[in-house]
Amino acid sequence: MKNLTQDLAKLIRLTGDRAKLDAKANGTYIVYKTANGQIVKEYSTGQIEEIKEQELNHD
């Protein structure tokens, strides 16, 4: 079970790394939730911008 968890963690990390490479190649950004629960945009320049709750609710 430990190996499965380690493999899954590695796959998740690699997926995130690939998303960052794709964002850099296309001049865009990735969106993710931080450890403290904030949702952020991370640009290929390394700039991180918090997404406000009102931006998440597209009514």
Closest CA to 19 of 41, 52, 47, 50: 41
* Cβ count within 10 A of residue 30: 17
0.85 exceeded by pTM? no
Convert the pLDDT of each residue in 14-27 to its tens digit.
Answer: 999 999 999 999 99
Convert the pLDDT of each residue in 7-58 to its tens digit.
Answer: 999 999 999 999 999 999 999 999 999 999 999 999 988 999 999 876 777 6
pLDDT at 58: 63
What is the rounded CA–CA span in Å between residue 31 and residue 20?
A: 10
